[in-house]
Amino acid sequence: MVGARPNFMKMAPIVHAMARRPEQFEQLLVHTGQHYDANMSHIFFEELGLPRPDINLDVGSGSHAQQTAAVMQRFEPVLLEYRPDWLIVPGDVNSTLACALVAAKLGAKIAHVEAGLRSFDRTMPEEINRILTDQISDLLFTPSPDADQNLLREGIDPAKIHCVGNVMIDTLVRLLPMAEARLPALRAKLNLGDYLLVTLHRPSNVDDPATLTEIMQALQQLGRDLQVLFPVHPRTRGKLAQLGFADEQPGIHLVEPFGYLDFLALQAHAALVLTDSGGVQEETTYLGVPCLTARPNTERPVTITLGTNRLVESTCPALVQAARDLLAHSRQSPHTPARRPALWDGQTAQRIVDVLCEAHSCSKF
Ligand code: UD1
Ligand code: UDP
């Protein structure tokens, strides 16, 4: 199952790994349609080499209850018709929990990819989705040992937990050379020098007008030091429009969301990344690119203890100060090699498929 932008990067390597073993796996790819703009969905199928979904539930946007309920209502007949042995769900979006709940009630086994992450902040919708999906899953594939500890603390049977590494990094490892090849054209098109790359879409940052205004003020100040390139998530686009921030702000280049390859190339060569995305914290860690995360917490602590990530308060002074400190530091020591968490090595999907095979005694799914 896939539904929202980050799901595509997590499922693509698993879909490919299963396709290499046709005698063991028969697959049905379901897209819930939670994300539907061409640059939030279709482009990733092309760039990641994902097959066209067998079924698209076309649920679209709505409140949490509306969206979760719509996925459940439309997914149930699919499960009843195809009766799969296993459902694989990635991440922590509403589609993840909705599909898992349907499968649990109908007796299909559930494999949760990226299990065990916890921000310990239940005001985040994703935290609710993570806790509940983990509780009803039969196999829990974790990206790092901290996630195993979280699951054990919540009473999950250790036999269900498999620390396999970060599957999103499989996609990065495979496509980084292709992304790099696009950089010269991108630099020319965007007239790029030294730049700060920004992505923001958490409700805690963008749904509160005062917080979003603070962030935009910080970006305007930082725009005097270096170029600010801000591909705007559709949730954020609407909020910026409501606040009267036009497309071009002094020093800030607001653009449409990029496809995966362009965005990866831009991450790899940014002077600094400012984000509230989960996946971007991980990708910058792998790439060794300095990253500021505008949040009070993260469910990905290895990106801080091992990687290049730092948390920062979403206020104008804190953002400006933290960005200037990091930029000064990275100019002093520009070639610090990236420290990568164990098993973030491009082979995670292979490990997941091995475990699935073993769990199902290698019989045809
Ligand atoms: C969702 C996930 C979040 C994830 C993010 C990845 C939940 C609760 N949230 O947040 O965990 O980090 O995706 O990007 O599942 N919209 C469009 N076009 C689209 C998709 C959305 O215009 O293709 C607009 C709609 O106005 C919609 C809003 O964006 O109401 C929010 O979309 P939604 O999927 O509800 O949540 P995200 O903020 O995208
Ligand atoms: N991404 C992208 N284009 C963009 C911004 C992000 O392709 O303009 C990719 C990014 O490289 C990562 C994924 O989207 O692979 C992260 O998704 P997102 O930030 O939407 O969700 P989160 O990880 O926060 O759940």
Q: Whose CA is nearest to atom 7 of ligand 1?
A: 93
- Does residue 102 fall inside a structural domain? yes
Tell me the β-bridge partners of 197. Answer: 229, 273
Residue 338 resides in a domain: no
Instruction: Give the residue, by CA position, lying nearest to ligand 1 atom 34.
Output: 34
Strand order in the sheet with 86-90: 86-90, 109-113, 139-142, 161-163
- pLDDT tens-digit series, residues 143-154: 999 999 999 999
Work out the average pLDDT over 65-85. Answer: 98
How far is the CA of 275 from the CAs of 125, 137, 164, 313, in angstroms? 18, 30, 26, 12
Residues 32 and 160 both lie in one domain = yes
Q: Which of 201, 233, 253, 269 is catalytic?
A: 201
Range of the domain at 138: 5-166+344-359
Per-residue pLDDT averaged across 28-32, rounded? 98
Give yes or no for residue 280 CB within 6 A of ligand 2: yes
Of the given ranges (10-14, 110-114, 337-341), which has the lowest mean pLDDT?
337-341
290 falls within a domain = yes
In the chain, how many domains are there? 2
- Residue 338: the pLDDT is 82
Q: Which atom of ligand 2 is nearest to the CA of 277?
A: 24
Ligand number nearest to the C-alpha of 299: 2
Phi/psi at 142 (nearest 5 deg)? -105, 150
Q: What is the pLDDT of residue 251?
A: 85
Q: Do 265 and 312 reside in the same domain of the chain?
A: yes
Q: Does the Cβ of 13 fall within 6 Å of ligand 1?
A: no
The answer to whether 338 touches 287, Cβ cutoff 8 Å, is: yes
| Percent over 90 (pLDDT), the chain | 92
The confidence score (pLDDT) of residue 271 equals 97
Q: What's the pLDDT band for 362 if we cut at 50, 70, 90?
A: very low
- Our answer on whether the CB atom of 5 is closer than 6 Å to any ligand 2 atom is yes
Q: Do 129 and 12 share a structural domain?
A: yes
Q: Inform me whether the pLDDT recorded for 231 exceeds 90.
A: yes
186 and 162 in one domain? Answer: no
Q: Is the domain of 38 the same as that of 86?
A: yes
Look over the chain and give the mean of its residue pLDDT values, rounded to a whole number: 96
**Residue 83 and residue 201 share a domain:** no
Assigned domain for 364 exists: no
| Mean pLDDT calculated for residue range 250-267 | 95
User: How would residue 268 be classed by pLDDT, with cut points 50, 70 and 90?
Assistant: very high
Q: Using the predicted structure, report yes or no on whether residue 363 has a pLDDT greater than 70.
A: no
Residue with tokens 């922590």: 92
Indicate which CATH number applies to the domain containing 121: 3.40.50.2000
Q: What is the pLDDT of residues 284-327, one digit of tens each?
A: 999 999 999 999 999 999 999 998 999 999 999 999 999 999 99
169-228 pLDDT per residue, tens = 999 999 999 999 999 999 999 999 999 999 999 999 999 999 999 999 999 999 999 999
pLDDT score for 365: 47
Q: Are 211 and 237 in contact (CB under 8 A)?
A: no
Check pocket membership of 35 for ligand 1, CB cut-off 6 A: yes
| Same domain assignment for residues 157 and 184 | no
Q: Rounded to whole angstroms, how far apart are CA atoms 253 and 286?
A: 26
Mean pLDDT of the 94-104 span: 98
DSSP class of 214: H
H or E element at residue 104: helix 94-106
Mean pLDDT of all residues in 239-255: 86
If asked whether residues 112 and 192 sit together in one domain, one would say no
Identify whether residues 191 and 327 lie together within a single domain.
Answer: yes
Binning pLDDT at 50, 70 and 90, where does residue 163 land? very high
Same domain, 274 and 327: yes
Is-catalytic flag, 162?
no
Give domain status of residue 202, yes or no.
Answer: yes
Is the pLDDT score of 361 beyond 80? Answer: no
Do 155 and 217 fall into the same domain? no
